[in-house]
Amino acid sequence: MYIIAGLGNPGSKYEKTRHNMGFDVIDELVEEYNVPGSGVKFDAMYGKGRIGSEKVILVKPLSFMNLSGGPIRAMVDYFKIDPESELIVVYDDIDLEPGQLRIRKKGSAGGHNGMKDIIQKLGTQNFTRVKVGVGAKPKGWDLADYVLGRFSGEERKHIDEAIVRASKAVAMIVEEGPDAAMNEYNRKE
């Protein structure tokens, strides 16, 4: 069984922002694999379903981005999964061009506060992550304003395609393992 957690901020004012890439990918997975909602537990929305023959739990923490670790830790403990082999976290990355994907089996938070909290709460940085590029902050912009902003029309097209590709990458991780997905998706389009 896998827990697939997408990071974002709850509430309509944050929908379709750069920082909500994880939520957008979870929404795509819910639609693609017809995963019914199971409700709210441990300050997270979740649904149980299958990708291929694997059981999955899709999770959207409702704690706001910078406190994502608590709900994810609680879900990992409750469902008794090993985060180092059965957790996938999907989130935005400003170091990647809009729409570019990067899959890693471990690593630091890279300055992402949601990931910092998850690593701290889990006590490990050895878990699979799918990063979706949102582009670098323009010179002179405040980082928070940038990541909480929306994409331009041209960027949105690339991002919508990236959301679909990221959901396919997650499915490949679940069905074939992270190495197969890294070989397929860790390249510039």
pLDDT at 188 over 80: no
Q: Report which of 24, 22, 27, 57 is spatially closest to residue 42, judged by C-alpha positions.
A: 57
When mean pLDDT is compared across 42-51, 65-74, 164-173, 179-188, the lowest value belongs to 179-188
Catalytic hit among 3, 4, 8, 19: 19
CA max distance for the chain: 48
pLDDT at 189 over 80: no
pLDDT of residue 155: 85
User: By percentage, how much of the chain surpasses pLDDT 90?
Assistant: 81
Computed over every residue of the chain, the mean pLDDT equals 94
- The band of 145, judged by pLDDT with boundaries at 50, 70 and 90, is confident
- The band of 178, judged by pLDDT with boundaries at 50, 70 and 90, is very high
Residue 158 a catalytic site member: no
Whole-angstrom CA distances from 93 to 21, 41, 82 are 9, 27, 25
CA–CA dist 98, 112 (Å, integer): 16
Interval 102-141: pLDDT, tens? 999 999 999 899 999 999 999 999 999 999 999 888 898 8
- The band of 54, judged by pLDDT with boundaries at 50, 70 and 90, is very high
Tell how far CA 89 is from the center of its chain: 4
User: By percentage, how much of the chain surpasses pLDDT 70?
Assistant: 99
Q: Which two tokens stand for residue 149?
A: 């902003």
CA–CA dist 61, 5 (Å, integer): 8
CA–CA dist 111, 137 (Å, integer): 13
Q: Which two tokens stand for residue 30?
A: 């819910």
